[in-house]
């Protein structure tokens, strides 16, 4: 059976995925599908490092600017939107070029999600009420589901909250459910290319990238979002760059301190992403940001090879 093909171009934040993807798409007549969680939101352009309007005109782009900042979105919603696009493009004879660093969304696209309880609004509201009253969500998870707590970063609030939601709704650990599922749903033949950059080189680029965000209008962008009535507590506005810009606008830190925090948090994110990709994508191909090499790998794949995520 010939499965539809999809190409994943991913890697740590700041590794140059977007610019490489644009060049690859132009060279091979491909269309880009977003897999970066922040780029889904309208009005979050500079901090999300989205492709420019002219770049999106040059190559078809999908799943950019599809949400307002106060709309909820998760891996299941991404799966529902992205899979039909990937399938349609494959049916038309061109594998989708999926680009982004949100590993869970990439994994959901190519391997599916375990069938756990859906979003439980009452339970989630109760968890958030406990947190407002001072409870530490990770400590709650340690008590109620130590198996899941052992696998999660205590600061990864969305995943900690989801694990609490699952254990309270079903009495079964999210880890157990994931192991039962074993990510067996594989509807696509997948090539995964992970951009490999030297740490020192990437760190230097992240410093330049941070300065560029502020120079190009991040503060004005965030000011506009706040004036439009969006709360600083919304998930996308807690992301790197937006949180610090808000703190500066509220007088909670200086501009230089905000820049330094953005740089340091971005470095830490890049490190976590490298670790995640090494652990979760053992068959992914780590490649240097070499356009000719990447095109060669993709051509080999489209002519009959396969990869995995």
pLDDT confidence bin for 277, thresholds 50/70/90: confident
Report yes or no on 307 lying in a domain: no
pLDDT digits (tens, 9 = 90+) for 101-133: 998 899 889 887 766 676 788 999 999 999 999
pLDDT in tens, 197-255: 999 999 999 999 999 999 999 999 999 999 999 999 999 999 999 999 999 999 999 99
Q: Are residues 39 and 141 located together in one domain of the fold? A: no
Judgement on whether residues 216 and 94 belong to the same structural domain of the protein: yes
Total domains in the chain come to 2
Question: What integer best gives the mean pLDDT of the chain?
Answer: 91
Q: Per the domain annotation, does 41 fall within a domain?
A: yes
Query: What is the per-residue DSSP string for 4-63?
Result: PEEEEEE-STTSSHHHHHHHHHHHHT--EEE--GGGGBTT--TTTTPPPHHHHHHS-EES
The H or E element containing residue 195 is strand 189-195
The pLDDT value recorded for residue 49 is 93
| 309 is a domain residue | no
* CATH code: domain of residue 249: 3.40.50.300
Average the pLDDT over 286-293 and give the result. 95
With pLDDT > 90 as the criterion, what percentage of the chain qualifies?
74
162 and 206 belong to one structural domain: no
List CB contacts of 175: < 8 A, sequence separation 6 or more. Answer: 145, 147, 148, 151, 163
pLDDT at 309: 47
Domain for residue 308, yes or no? no
Mean pLDDT of 69-81: 93
Residues 196 and 286 placed together within one structural domain of the fold: yes
Amino acid 116: pLDDT: 65
* Residue 161 or residue 179, greater confidence: 161
Query: 146 and 272 in one domain?
Result: no
Same domain, yes or no, for 131 and 98? no
Are 173 and 192 found together in one domain? no
At which of 162, 181, 200 does a domain end?
Answer: 181
Q: 269 near 203, Cβ under 8 Å? A: no
Length of the chain: 309
The separation between CA 165 and the C-alpha centre of its own chain, rounded to angstroms, equals 21
Residues 161 and 217 in one domain: no
pLDDT at 257 over 90: yes
Q: Which of 130, 158, 181 is the last residue of a domain?
A: 181
Q: Is residue 64 part of a domain?
A: yes
Residue 207's DSSP bridge partners are none
Domain assignment of residue 109, yes or no:
yes
Query: What's 171's domain CATH number?
Result: 1.10.20.140
State whether 224 and 280 are in the same domain: yes
Domain match, 190 and 270 both: yes
Task: Say if CB 70 and CB 233 are below 8 A apart.
Answer: no
pTM over the 0.85 mark: no
Do 287 and 217 share a domain, yes or no?
A: yes
What is the per-residue pLDDT for 184?
A: 55
How many whole angstroms separate alpha carbon 292 and alpha carbon 297? 9
Residue 133 has a pLDDT of: 93
Q: Which residue range is the domain that position 132 belongs to?
A: 121-181
**What is the rounded distance in angstroms from the CA atom of residue 122 to the CA atom of residue 127?**
9
Q: Is the pLDDT reported for residue 68 higher than 60?
A: yes
Query: Which residue, of 129, 164, 181, is where some domain finishes?
Result: 181
Asked if the structure places residue 32 within a domain, the reply is yes
Contact 243, 213 (CB under 8 A): no
pLDDT at 308: 46
Instruction: Report helix, strand and coil shares of the chain as percent, to nearest 5.
Output: 55, 10, 35
What is the DSSP-derived secondary structure letter of residue 140?
H
Residue 238, CB half-sphere, CA atoms under 13 Å: how many? 8
Q: Provide the CB-side half-sphere exposure for 131 (13 A, CA).
A: 16
Let me know whether 105 and 223 are in one domain. Answer: yes
């Amino acid at each position: 059976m010939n499965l539809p093909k999809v190409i994943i171009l991913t890697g740590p934040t700041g590794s140059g995925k977007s610019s490489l993807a644009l060049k690859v798409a132009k060279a091979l007549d491909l269309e880009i599908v977003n897999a970066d969680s922040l780029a889904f939101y309208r009005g979050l352009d500079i901090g999300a490092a989205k492709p420019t309007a002219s770049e999106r005109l040059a190559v078809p782009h999908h799943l950019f600017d599809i949400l307002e900042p106060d709309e909820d979105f998760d891996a299941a919603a991404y799966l529902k939107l992205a899979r039909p696009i990937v399938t349609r493009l494959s049916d038309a004879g061109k594998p989708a070029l999926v680009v982004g660093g949100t590993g869970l969304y990439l994994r959901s696209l190519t391997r599916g999600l375990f069938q756990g309880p859906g979003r439980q609004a009452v339970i989630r509201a109760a968890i958030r009420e406990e947190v407002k009253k001072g409870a530490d969500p990770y400590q709650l998870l340690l008590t109620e589901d130590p198996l899941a707590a052992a696998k999660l970063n205590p600061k990864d609030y969305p995943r900690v909250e989801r694990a609490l939601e699952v254990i309270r709704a079903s009495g079964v650990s999210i880890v157990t459910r994931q192991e039962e599922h074993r990510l067996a749903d594989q509807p696509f033949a997948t090539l995964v290319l992970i951009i490999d950059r030297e740490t020192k080189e990437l760190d230097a680029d992240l410093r330049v990238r941070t300065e560029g965000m502020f120079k190009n209008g991040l503060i004005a962008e965030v000011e506009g979002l706040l004036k439009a009535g969006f709360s600083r507590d919304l998930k996308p506005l807690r992301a790197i760059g937006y949180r610090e810009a808000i703190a500066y606008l509220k007088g909670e830190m200086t501009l230089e301190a905000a820049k330094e925090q953005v740089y340091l948090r971005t470095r830490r994110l890049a490190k976590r992403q490298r670790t995640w990709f090494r652990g979760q994508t053992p068959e992914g191909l780590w490649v240097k940001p070499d356009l000719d090499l990447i095109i060669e790998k993709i051509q080999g794949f489209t002519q009959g090879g396969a990869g995995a995520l």
